[in-house]
Amino acid sequence: MHLLDKLSRNLKWWIRHKIEARVWRKRLFDVPAPQKVKWAVLDRHKIPGATWVETGTYLGDTTEFLAARAAMVCSIEPADALYQAGSRRFRNQANVRLLHGTSETIFPDLLKELRGKVCFWLDGHASGGVTFRGVLSTPIMNELQDIEASLPNFSSIVVLIDDMRCFDPSIPMYADYPPRAKVVDWAERNQMTWHIEHDIFVAKRD
């Protein structure tokens, strides 16, 4: 990336984060938290030297954040336009691998390749605009089932799931989401410690 382009992008990020922080304070720190706060959660719970798997590349900002801290980032994006934009953005970044498709189609083969330390950032859900929407708003239970089948391949694992406020299907707009108890049951069945931090479900197993 050209130096001036990088400085311009960093300035835009700084302005956006300042605005988001101000709005968050006005909302009395209610969910959802600003992106910078979510990034702090990811950074705090990362496994050093691990491969990251991200569902939902979107504009690539979190992909770039993770790539600065990870050996490899595999980011899955089903929306054609967003995938093409991400491919251009990361074309010269060796530790970013963009995969085009839904997690339902990509996870089975991708997870067979992964070994050792792995961190998952599961944020692939429809949120309007240019984001992709499949049959359901979120494929989270399919993703968790695939991860569970691959657990013997991982020496340590962290699974972070965004937007836990949505995991209440009694609310009509979140009818496609599983109840939060299903995610908790999944973590406990797989002997993971878990907690919720800034609307992010954090499950770990060493």
In DSSP notation, 148-179 reads HHHGGGEEEEEEEES-GGG--TTSGGGTTSPP
- The mean pLDDT of 117-142, rounded to a whole number, is 75
91, part of any domain: yes
42, part of any domain: no
C-alpha distance from residue 148 to each of 29, 99, 138, 159, 187 (Å): 33, 21, 18, 11, 9
- The mean pLDDT of 182-206, rounded to a whole number, is 97
Please state the domain count of the chain: 1
Write down the residue that tokens 């336009």 correspond to. 81
Residue 137 in this model has a pLDDT that exceeds 80: no
Q: Tens digit of pLDDT for each residue in 3-59?
A: 666 666 666 766 777 787 787 778 766 777 888 999 999 999 999 999 999 999 999
Region of 129 on the Ramachandran plot (φ > 0 left; ψ -120 to 50 alpha; else beta): left
25, part of any domain: no
130, part of any domain: yes
Token digits for 157?
């694992």
Q: What is the pLDDT of residue 24?
A: 72
Rounded Cα distance, 66 and 82, in Å = 18
29, part of any domain: no
Write down the mean pLDDT value for the chain: 89
9, part of any domain: no
The residues pairing with 120 across neighbouring beta strands, listed in sequence order, are 53, 159
pLDDT band of residue 190 (cuts 50, 70, 90) is very high
Residue 132 in this model has a pLDDT that exceeds 60: no
Q: What is the pLDDT of residue 15?
A: 74
Q: What is the pLDDT of residue 70?
A: 95
Q: What is the pLDDT of residue 128?
A: 45
Where in the sequence is the domain holding 134, given as residue range(s)? 47-205
Q: What is the pLDDT of residue 18?
A: 75
Q: What is the pLDDT of residue 28?
A: 67
The residues pairing with 118 across neighbouring beta strands, listed in sequence order, are 51, 157
- The mean pLDDT of 119-143, rounded to a whole number, is 74
**CATH number assigned to the domain comprising residue 82:** 3.40.50.150
Q: What is the DSSP letter of 129?
A: T
79, part of any domain: yes
pLDDT band of residue 100 (cuts 50, 70, 90) is very high
- The mean pLDDT of 80-103, rounded to a whole number, is 95
Residue 71 in this model has a pLDDT that exceeds 50: yes
28, part of any domain: no
